[in-house]
Structure 1
């Protein structure tokens, strides 16, 4: 007869299992409730040199930049300078066939000679006419002088005759009418003498033929002088045009690009190419009107050109423009920056980023901007271990920092914290708001 299985071992098993379950559940409860230690990132404050800068992008330009233009007419016979080669002021850059200019010069000489010859002929004729008129004047003066002498003699005789007639009439030797007749003849003699003297005076000072001849000589002299001057000017202009068949460098510089080739026909004003002084380059910056007050003459600038991103160039502000321009609805002012380029690496048209130094503070306590919190118009940091304290505090202290200059990464702390202080890297938590 088989035995029934005992129930006691089974009930013991369930008891053990239940106890184990309670232990597991309790353990899980403890694991869930156990707090994690928060990881806090801190930084130690250091003294640094801080630079407040304004960053602006600009383009390189040559301060002396001209468009070469033809000043003569004809085909180009030679381009004597290749692009990119620096030449001295006055060096020959290009020549134009001088034949047209030479013909103009020769024609100017011929025209001048003809005009001067015609004026000289007229002057010679006027001078001969004047000499003849003056000769006739002298003849007339001699004749009139004799007439005056005769009238003076006649007047003297009339005066004597009148005196005799008056005496005889008084004595009754002649009639009164005879005396009156003598008086009339005397008056006529006075009139005749005055007329003779007036005619002689006019002949000496206002002989019409001589006046006309002298005016003609004066006009011919003026015409000759004008012909000579105008002819000289015409010849000089022609010589100048002939000289301009050779195009010369206006200053020491470089042809940065020809626009025509040998054989092309040009006329005065035709653009020939660009000429620039590559030793006198500037970075031209469009400065926003809000940043303009920060620009100072001779202010320090650090430039990074796109073509040389790893090579900074030092510069100085050369000029600050006074006339504004509108760029993309923003008013900007041109600021020129001269920079050092001993290797002559930079060319007009290159782009560059300029960092214009506004102010610099050396050996100041620098607080990372990400460690700051701004509240109520003030800057706050969380200090975990002030300098000199061996162990960090369990809770960061909220400290107000007096700010100096601010850069892109740091703020100058004038008070509140010191070099060596350990602070929260991410800034202190915000203060709880009052309900």
Structure 2
């Protein structure tokens, strides 16, 4: 027997239990703090992660400053290119004018080499300025790459901060549902280790007023039950109480134990008085069919044989079909009957010369007492057989 909803509450981090705020049978609410782990190690990890994050933010700022400086260098290099370009154009004009004047004889020929030298020098300075501009642009691009790298490192450091914060938050264990604590598996000072599987700290049942019985149904009987079939059961703690239930599900997964195949039937049970406890063993009876207001006889009456010596006439008159032996005036008279449903203790009599109140013979007890008679019964009081 178990609660309908049972949750295992574990810890996602390893540590030492420092506080417990719930115990066996404690009523808890969703979100309530029920345990704490020692947070000192996780607080230190969070502080370290924060320091690393601040350092990476400073690196990002420094990289962004380098980008600003690199952009200024690009602008300066571009201005130098513009200046050398203007100087080259001026030298080109001077060279062309000098060459024309020399050709017309208005200027000495010795001025032409000087003009050519000035033109060549201006062209070289422009090429140098262009190379410096390209270098400045490359440095600016490298500075931007450094910013991206620093930002990525900062994001990684921020993720480490978030992870450290999450781990710190996980040192506080809260109840995931409303319910009652069924089991507590740790004590204060105990170390829990979360590796491949979270260790279970508490077991919380959601609502003990609604329970489930998991019954193993033999494969020969599983075809006789269906969802919503009526069920009754008893438990050893209350042997005189019969608890009603309803089959909510018959699971398709077979269970094989010592070559015996069974199927699990889930039985919903109302438990308003909280008599039923998780883990109790239930003795289940499933109603596969029922009849109301019928005549029944004990099953033992159908197995009765007259005691020896049996008169020959009586022996010849014994029925071969199912029968009971009616007791009247101290004499045994066989009565052939047609049987119907049985619950293993009593059997329905569908037809036969038998009525309610007739005395019938049943086998003697094992100690050898005399044959006894039991009245045939008809549960007209509303019972079901």
TM-score with structure 1 setting the length: 0.59
Query: 1:86 aligned to 8, 18, 27, which one?
Result: 27
Partner of 2:291: 361
Query: What's the CA shift string for 1:244-273, capped at 9, x where partnerless?
Result: 2xx4333333333444545x3323456545
**Gaps (5+ residues) in structure 1?**
1-59, 374-378, 386-394, 428-435
| Structure 1 residue 313 displacement after superposition | 0.6
Following superposition, the deviation at residue 129 of structure 1 comes to: 2.6
Aligned residue runs from structure 1 range 339-358, under 5 A: 339-358=269-288
Contact 2:3 2:205 in 1 (8 A): yes
Measured in 2, the distance between the counterparts of 1:256 and 1:147 equals 88
Structure 2: distance between partners of 1:161 and 1:418? 151
Match in the other structure for 2:366: none
> For the Cα contact (< 8 Å) 1:316–1:337, is it kept in 2?
yes
Task: Tell me if structure 1 keeps the 8 A contact 2:80–2:129.
Answer: no
Is residue 56 of structure 2 the alignment partner of residue 119 of structure 1?
yes
- Describe the superposition over 1:26-62 as per-residue Cα deviations: whole angstroms up to 9, x where unpaired: xxxxxxxxxxxxxxxxxxxxxxxxxxxxxxxxxx223
SS in 2 for 1:74: strand
Please give the TM-score of this superposition, normalised by the length of structure 2: 0.66
Q: 2:192 aligns with which of 256, 262, 267?
A: 267
Question: Of 218, 226, 243, which aligns to 1:288?
Answer: 218
* Partner residue, 1:20: none
**Cα shift at 1:116:** 2.8
Tell me which residue corresponds to 2:140.
210
Structure 1 runs (4+) greater than 6 angstroms displaced: 157-165, 192-195, 382-385, 395-399, 421-424
CA contact (8 A) 1:92 1:248 kept: yes
Can you give the 5+ residue segments of structure 2 that lack an aligned partner in the other structure? 305-319, 327-332, 363-385
The alpha carbon displacement at 1:125 in A equals 2.8
> For 1:322, which of 230, 233, 252 is the aligned residue?
252
Q: Distance in 1 between matches of 2:209 and 2:228?
A: 19
Tell me, yes or no, if the aligned pair for 1:116 and 1:227 is still in contact at 8 Å: yes
Shift of 1:345: 1.0
SS at match of 2:242: strand
Give the one of 74, 77, 80 matched to 2:16: 74
Correspondent of 1:235 among 165, 168, 192: 165
User: 1:218 Cα shift?
Assistant: 2.4
Aligned partners of 1:322 and 1:255: how far apart in 2? Answer: 31
When residues 90 and 301 of structure 1 are mapped into structure 2, their CA distance, relative to the original with a 3 A threshold, is: same
For the 8 Å contact 1:371–1:425, the answer to whether it is kept is no
Q: Could you tell me how far 1:412 is from its partner in structure 2? A: 5.9
Match of 1:310 among 240, 259, 263: 240
**Matches of 2:129 and 2:353, distance apart in 1:** 120
Q: Where do 1:155-304 residues align within 5 Å? A: 200=130, 203=133, 207-238=137-168, 240-242=169-171, 244=172, 247-262=173-188, 264-269=189-194, 272=201, 274-277=203-206, 278-304=208-234
Q: How many residues align?
A: 324
Task: Indicate the residue corresponding to 2:309 in structure 1.
Answer: none
Partner SS state of residue 321, structure 1: strand
- Aligned residue among 310, 335, 342 for 2:265: 335
Q: Whose Rg is larger?
A: 1
Instruction: Find the partner of 1:135 among 72, 81, 84.
Output: 72
Asked if the contact 1:94/1:248 (under 8 Å) is kept, the reply is yes
Are the structure 2 counterparts of residues 104 and 382 from structure 1 closer, same or farther at C-alpha, using a change threshold of 3 Å?
Answer: closer
Q: Equivalent residue for 2:367?
A: none
Relative distance call for 1:307 and 1:116 in structure 2 (3 A) is closer
CA RMSD of aligned residues (A): 4.6
In 1: Cα distance, 2:93 partner to 2:230 partner:
110
The C-alpha deviation readout for 1:52-99, integer Å capped at 9, x for no partner, is xxxxxxxx223434555455523544x444433433334444455x4x
1:75 to 1:381, Cα distance in 2 relative to 1, 3 A: closer
Report the 3-state secondary structure (helix = DSSP H, G, I; strand = E; otherwise coil) of the residue aligned with 2:287: strand
In structure 2, relative to structure 1, the CA distance for the partners of 1:164 and 1:419 (3 Å cut) is farther
Counterparts of 2:5 and 2:254, CA distance in 1: 21
Of the two structures, which has the highest relative contact order with CA contacts closer than 8 Å and spacing of 6 or more?
A: 1
